[in-house]
């Protein structure tokens, strides 16, 4: 017994924290490099490999942690972290096993998919990006970190920065759209929001940028499918947001499922070592996606031992769920297929992250039950979420100023998404308490006030096909399918529609119609809802389409027939209130699209910064021309371009000027434009600057976003907006993958969206 006590006391002096205390008081330990090196020197091979193992929480529940299978592995030093475990009480119980029962008492990481908020949920990332407001986006991540850390989480698998130009891919909802420049700004804002450049604070968490790399460009828009592109396209169009996250100091990176140049990303040494480590200088750790290592077996890369060695040799440090490292690395080491230096380095990087998070100073740093009770889903956080959500909504159409609505008369709210609080948070909202989310009907009743009579009918189910609806409403996001006939549902809807002054039609996708493994070939609103909408229009009442979606949809029929369309994405736990704020004019919509809306799924992939062809369409009316690059059955241009979004007011652009028509490589230019609020409401406008490089050593896009400013302008007011251009905005990767700018002629476009023709010219000279 005395021998055991002595061993314990030695462990206490080495690692500087007491197993008896779960206190807030941190103690002083050695500097990170020295501390981690000493710890590694005391670890067995099995314990080092154990740090590389990231299982899900499995059967751990409060009160039963010590008897679970995962807990036994933790006690044996075979687990480096856990994910998908929620609440301080559970996490504290599991952390105790690591720091009180394992030999070296190394604390665990606790991760979760905190994607767009924790219990206070913000708009889905695609919607959040439409705010074009980096301060708000950073603030949303900061609130998410505060709430998650208060509930025991210290690591988030976010941001997802994959560029996507194919709305068939369901995970377009989880990213920031199609543009590398805007995506890079958002990547930095999210990393800064989570980490605040100081992981020692108890209200920051480790960020994980994903999915490295190119995951948003799968063949046919089908999730997990093959990605194949040139390296020049990788570097110019798809890599920038990942690199921006690295430059912002992101602590971890998640590998993507897809292959790159014929080798899955999880085993791709060029990607994980040459690009990520050597070119970009990343010094954190890389984790696989869920079962990413064993999935390489199906790719045809070998058995579990082979693909596990492939992953480690490529530069993967942590194995999520696959247990290939745990079960095969010792054998591979014995056979010379991996080296002890690689295992040591992987363990070191994970231990470094734990040190940076302060877990060696205080393993219970994130286990303060007082914080959990006072900092999660607070009144202030909800108010901020409501305000941010309102700025993510995009007004697509508003004929005759139908919106905003008056707070009087009778409003009929009709549609399967009208009373669907479970769906308001959207996909990847794993910590959301869906019962506390605000539905559209609830938000309208609150905001419209007592002078407005609000009527409701479901009108239709999500889809005529019950089996399809079941697939589209997983994870507790039911729409409570109505057993009445189509005719009965429609009759009830028409009855209240005819009693109303205006109809709000709440239609579109359910939350899980987009997201992971939710690819679609049909990008239209489900037919049951289209039929309902057309019936409502035939009443002669003014109809406002409140569109719920996690992706760009094909809305040609709706655009042609519905007088007003408000695209709300999935606006988070406060969705109903924020949407109602916009509908009734408490907030003026200011969102702008970050992904192009096609006219037809046949146009996909579609994006604004495409390159020209040798046979471009000559006319601007979209008329067909034989032997030109166009379709015989559709126009070339989209329904709604990148950057598009209306306001209740109008903005006029004038007096576009450039400070000089020449610039050398060390110089700078100023571009100014006057923006005037010419309407009847105060409003916010996203002023967008695009550049075209007219002649290059490789073909260049027709336009590239290189600057934007979101400005508040009162009605009748004129604001002069100034942009600065330096050589950095003109650089690109050439065919030798050199990041350069080339002398020559450039055009600068400034306007309200990517379709603007308002331009000035300049020449870059040596």
In whole angstroms, give the CA distance from residue 86 to residue 366: 12
Q: In what order do the strands lie in the sheet with 651-658?
A: 651-658, 668-677, 718-726
Is there a cis peptide before residue 637, judged by omega within 30 degrees of 0?
A: no
Q: What is the DSSP letter of 406?
A: P
Q: In the structure encoding, which two tokens stand for residue 734, read together?
A: 């050439």
Burial of 474 (0-12, 13-18, 19+ CB in 10 A): middle
In whole angstroms, give the CA distance from residue 333 to residue 356: 29
At 212, which helix (H) or strand (E)?
strand 208-212
Of the candidates 429, 314, 350, 382, the one whose C-alpha atom is nearest the C-alpha of residue 154 is: 350
CA dihedral angle for residue 680, residue 684, residue 689, residue 690, rounded to 10 degrees = -90
Start-to-end CA distance of the chain, whole Å, equals: 79
Three-state SS at 264? strand
Three-state SS at 634? coil
Give the active site residues.
Answer: 289
Burial 319-344 (b: 16+ CB within 10 A, else e): bbbbbbbbebbeebbeeebbeeebbb
Q: What is the DSSP letter of 545?
A: E
Cα 764 from chain centroid (whole Å): 36
In whole angstroms, give the CA distance from residue 357 to residue 200: 5
Length of the chain equals 766
* Total Cβ atoms within 10 A of residue 445: 18
Of the candidates 301, 586, 269, 256, the one whose C-alpha atom is nearest the C-alpha of residue 448 is: 586
Dihedral class, residue 261 (left if φ above 0, else alpha if ψ from -120 to 50, else beta): left
**Tokens 């020692």 -> residue:** 200
Cα 419 from chain centroid (whole Å): 26
Q: In the structure encoding, which two tokens stand for residue 118, read together?
A: 């924790």
Give start and end residues of each alpha helix (H) in 16-162.
Answer: 32-42, 45-51, 69-75, 88-100, 125-129, 134-150
Pairing of strands 252-255, 208-212: parallel
**Cross-strand pairs, 255:** 212
Of the candidates 746, 653, 762, the one whose C-alpha atom is nearest the C-alpha of residue 702 is: 746
* Total Cβ atoms within 10 A of residue 233: 13
Give start and end residues of each alpha helix (H) in 641-759.
Answer: none
Give start and end residues of each alpha helix (H) in 523-573.
Answer: 527-537, 556-561
**Cross-strand pairs, 676:** 652, 718
* Residues 6+ positions from 337 with CB-CB distance below 8 Å: 305, 309
């Amino acid at each position: 017994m005395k021998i055991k006590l002595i061993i314990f006391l030695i462990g206490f002096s080495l690692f500087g924290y007491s197993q008896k205390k779960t206190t807030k008081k941190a103690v002083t330990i050695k500097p990170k490099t020295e501390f981690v090196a000493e710890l590694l020197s005391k670890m067995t091979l099995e314990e080092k490999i154990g740090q590389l193992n990231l299982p899900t929480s499995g059967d751990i529940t409060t009160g039963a942690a010590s008897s679970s299978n995962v807990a036994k592995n933790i006690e044996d030093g075979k687990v480096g972290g856990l994910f998908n475990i929620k609440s301080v009480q559970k996490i504290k119980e599991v952390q105790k096993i690591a720091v009180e029962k394992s030999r070296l008492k190394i604390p665990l990481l606790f991760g979760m998919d905190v994607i767009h908020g924790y219990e206070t949920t913000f708009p889905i990332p695609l919607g959040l990006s439409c705010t074009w407001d980096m301060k708000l986006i950073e603030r949303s991540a900061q609130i998410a970190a505060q709430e998650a850390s208060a509930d025991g989480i210290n690591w988030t698998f976010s941001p997802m920065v994959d560029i996507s130009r194919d709305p068939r891919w369901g995970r377009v909802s989880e990213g920031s759209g199609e543009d590398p420049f805007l995506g890079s700004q958002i990547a930095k804002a999210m990393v800064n929001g989570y980490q605040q450049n100081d992981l020692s604070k108890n209200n920051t968490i480790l960020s994980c940028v994903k999915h490295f790399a190119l995951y948003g460009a799968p063949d046919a828009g089908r999730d997990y499918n093959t990605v194949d592109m040139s390296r020049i396209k990788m570097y110019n169009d798809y890599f920038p947001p990942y690199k921006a996250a690295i430059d912002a100091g992101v602590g971890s990176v998640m590998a993507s499922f897809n292959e790159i140049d014929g080798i899955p990303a999880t085993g791709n040494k060029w990607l994980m070592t040459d690009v990520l480590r050597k070119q970009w200088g990343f010094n954190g750790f890389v984790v696989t996606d869920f079962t990413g290592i064993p999935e390489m077996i199906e790719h045809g890369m070998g058995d579990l031992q082979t693909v596990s060695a492939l992953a480690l040799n490529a530069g993967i440090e942590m194995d999520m769920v696959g247990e290939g490292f745990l079960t095969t690395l010792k054998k591979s080491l014995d056979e010379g297929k991996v080296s002890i230096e690689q295992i040591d380095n992987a363990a070191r990087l994970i231990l470094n992250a734990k040190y940076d998070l302060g877990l060696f100073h205080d393993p219970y740093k994130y286990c303060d039950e007082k914080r959990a009770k006072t900092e999660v889903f607070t009144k202030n956080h909800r108010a901020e979420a409501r305000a941010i959500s309102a700025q993510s909504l995009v007004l697509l159409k508003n004929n005759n100023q139908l919106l905003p609505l008056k707070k009087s008369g009778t409003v009929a709210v009709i549609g399967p998404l009208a009373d669907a609080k479970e769906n308001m948070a959207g996909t990847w909202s794993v910590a959301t308490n869906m019962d506390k989310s605000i539905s559209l009907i609830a938000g309208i009743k609150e905001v419209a006030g007592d002078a407005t009579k609000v009527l409701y009918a479901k009108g239709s189910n999500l889809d005529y096909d019950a089996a399809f609806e079941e697939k589209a409403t997983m994870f507790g996001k039911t729409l409570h399918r109505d057993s009445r006939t189509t005719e009965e549902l429609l009759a009830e809807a028409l009855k209240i529609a005819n009693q109303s002054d205006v109809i709000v039609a709440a239609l579109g996708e359910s939350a899980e119609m987009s997201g992971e493994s939710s690819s679609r070939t049909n990008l239209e609103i489900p037919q049951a809802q289209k039929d309902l909408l057309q019936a409502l229009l035939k009443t002669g009442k003014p109809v406002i389409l409140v569109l719920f979606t996690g992706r760009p949809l094909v809305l040609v029929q709706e655009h042609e027939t519905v007088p007003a369309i408000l695209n709300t994405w999935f606006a988070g736990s406060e969705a109903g209130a924020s949407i109602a704020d916009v509908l009734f004019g408490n907030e003026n919509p200011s969102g702008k699209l970050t992904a192009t809306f096609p006219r037809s799924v046949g146009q996909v992939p579609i994006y604004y910064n495409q390159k020209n062809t040798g046979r471009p369409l000559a006319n601007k009316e979209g008329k067909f021309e034989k032997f030109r690059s166009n379709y015989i059955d559709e126009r070339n241009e989209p329904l709604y371009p990148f950057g598009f979004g209306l306001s209740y007011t109008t903005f006029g652009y004038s007096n576009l000027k450039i400070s000089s028509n020449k610039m050398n490589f060390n110089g700078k230019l100023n571009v100014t434009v006057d923006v005037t609020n010419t309407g009847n409401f105060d409003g916010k406008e996203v002023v967008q600057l695009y550049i075209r490089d007219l002649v290059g050593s490789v073909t260049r896009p027709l336009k590239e976003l290189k600057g934007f400013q979101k400005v508040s302008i009162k009605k009748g007011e004129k604001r002069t907006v100034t942009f600065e251009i330096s050589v950095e905005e003109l650089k690109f990767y050439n065919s030798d993958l050199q990041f350069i700018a080339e002398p020559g002629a450039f055009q600068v476009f400034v306007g309200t969206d990517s379709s603007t023709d308002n331009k000035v010219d300049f020449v870059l000279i040596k």
